[in-house]
Amino acid sequence: MIDSVMRSLGSRNQRLSIVVVRRLLVIGLTVTGLIFFQASGLAQATLDKAATPSSAEVITARRVVDGIYKSAVGDAKTAAQRSALARAVLNDSALAKTDAERYAMLSLAISLAEQGDDGMLVLKVADQVASSFSVDAAQLLAEVLSRSSADPTVDDWAVWSKAVSAAFTASLAASRFDDAEKLLTALSNRARKFRDAKAQGSTAAMKKRLVISRKQAIVLAELQDAAAAPSATAKEAGRLGKHLCFVRNDWDAGLKYLARGDDPELAAAAGRELERDVFTNPAHAIAVAAAWAAVDSKIPAAEQAAVLNHAIDVYLVALPALDGLTKVQAQRALDDLRKRAGEKGTSKSSWVTLFRSDTSEIWNTDTADSPNRFATSLDAVPEGIRYLRIRRVNGDAVIVAVNNQQLGGLVRGQRFGWQGGKPELYQGFLLGIFDTSKNLVNQPGVFVFGHGTEYFSGYGFGHRSQAGGPAVAVWDSKPIPGEVLEISVTSGQLNSAEQEQLLR
């Protein structure tokens, strides 16, 4: 049962007191929004989620709830009647006086939706559970779909498949491969049933991603175990460092192992970078970038691409804080590195357009209605993405560093962040780059990120604070309603003009 899964994700001790005033008539429920599961969870709520009630509370609450609905459940003989009753229970859950009673009612609603073979309603109730309680939305959906044979309707198939695809991406990013496989199996089975050739192609690509991610996780675990063993040598540390930095592009995690490794050139450069924070010490950053650039000619060719790209990244960090001759020299060094990277075939400058529209609702869909209403699924994005760009029709653009795993989720940096999960809030889908220095809490404006007391504006599509309606385009915190925005990604390094557009 869903109860055991949901309870395992949290607990909360409280006295149970259920007072439910309801009608036993089977009523319908209007679906007020679409369900999209994100790497960062479901739609960002404006209220804090409740902790999951304890097992004892759930058992007691479920007994009372089952008693209240016993007659209605007995009368619901057909799948349509079970589905209608599930909607009624979901609607009634808003009357719950405690977390335990609402939890129990939502659990019953999921069971009834499954019995009613209503796949879309199963997602709707799961969405409500994840929005109300501290549970992982993707993990919950994986558990539900692993045992449910309920299918969406033809009309709901596109929304259903997008929700499951997003949950798959979230599970993969969290290295929950069993959950990802459950979600992929559910999606693949329905894609075949609906004879959706495009969806079947997407699930084939997703399967490859899952296989590769699992293999990489096994390799990483083996390297981590070897480096952590009491008998570990500099060789084991170096192998782990190279895997983290060169293969997974996780330099933050890998530098300390390179510094302890058996390659003296890499160890020296890594050790120098670890001495100080390159983000707050531009002079140190230049020295570090130069150190990595010097290493390039002393290491195997297979490792040179990663080292050159990292040196370029460090120069890009330092340049905005420099001036005068120092900046001129750093720029020349950066241009030289870019040339070397191009000669070695390690630099790609082309941008791949993922989205162009005046509305955020088609982000991460396969849409080709017109040149200014175009989008592609994130499942089709090639590996190795390094940067994302949002561009206006007048050519103005901003860029942030984003990788493949982050494209469909939430990334929050020191100042700027990326909202790619497209959560629905007040009938508007949030999408874009947000600026944490521009908080609109209790102020008019358009925010791209909204949760609790944080409502950050920025670039992309946001919701008008203190107002309802769909999302509107926004640029540098200023509304530009109706304007078409383009979102592209690249796996290469930025040129000098693009470097000026990079937000740090």
Helix (H, G, I), strand (E, B), or coil: what is residue 463? strand
**Average pLDDT per run of 10 along the chain, which is 504 residues long?**
38 26 25 31 46 90 92 92 93 90 92 91 88 83 86 89 83 86 93 88 85 88 93 94 86 92 93 86 89 86 82 80 84 82 56 86 82 80 86 88 88 88 70 89 77 84 70 85 89 80 87
Specify the residue for token string 């874009």: 432
From CA 104, how far away is CA 62, in angstroms rounded?
A: 5
Cα torsion through 401, 404, 405, 407, rounded to 10: 70
Q: Which helix H or strand E contains 64, and what residues bound it?
A: helix 55-75
Q: Residue with structure tokens 């989008």? A: 375
Report the pLDDT value the prediction gives residue 183, as an integer from 0 to 100.
Answer: 92
Distances (CA, A) of 373 to 1, 161, 202, 357, 504: 43, 21, 21, 5, 30
The helix (run of H) or strand (run of E) holding residue 156 is: none
Q: Which of 111, 134, 74, 101 is nearest to 19 (CA)?
A: 101
Q: Characterize the bridge pairing of strands 387-391 and 397-401.
A: antiparallel
Q: What pLDDT sits at residue 15? A: 24
Neighbours of 127 (CB within 10 A): 23
The pLDDT value given to residue 204: 87
Backbone angles phi, psi at 458, to 5 degrees: 165, -125
Beta-carbon contacts of 417 under 8 Å, excluding residues fewer than 6 positions away, are 400, 410, 411, 433, 434, 436, 449, 456
The whole-angstrom distance between residue 269's C-alpha and the CA centroid of its chain comes to: 33
The three-state secondary structure class of 352 is strand
CB 489 within 8 A of CB 402: yes
pLDDT score for 24: 24
Rounded CA separation 501/474 (Å)? 17
Torsional class of 41: left (φ above 0), alpha (ψ -120 to 50), beta (otherwise)? left
3-state secondary structure of 434: strand
pLDDT at 412 (0 to 100): 85
Residue type for 309, please?
N
Tokens in use for 265?
Answer: 């050139």
Question: CA of 65: how far to CAs of 3, 102, 380, in Å?
Answer: 13, 9, 45
Of 125, 133, 132, 217, which Cα lies nearest the Cα of 171?
217
Helix residue ranges, H only, 155-196: 157-173, 177-193
Name the nearest CA neighbour of 122 among 64, 171, 190: 190
Pairing mode, if any, of strands 478-479 and 472-475? antiparallel
Largest Cα–Cα distance in the chain? 83
Place of tokens 């003989």: 77
Structure-block tokens of residue 206: 């997703």
Tokens, residue 454: 């944080």
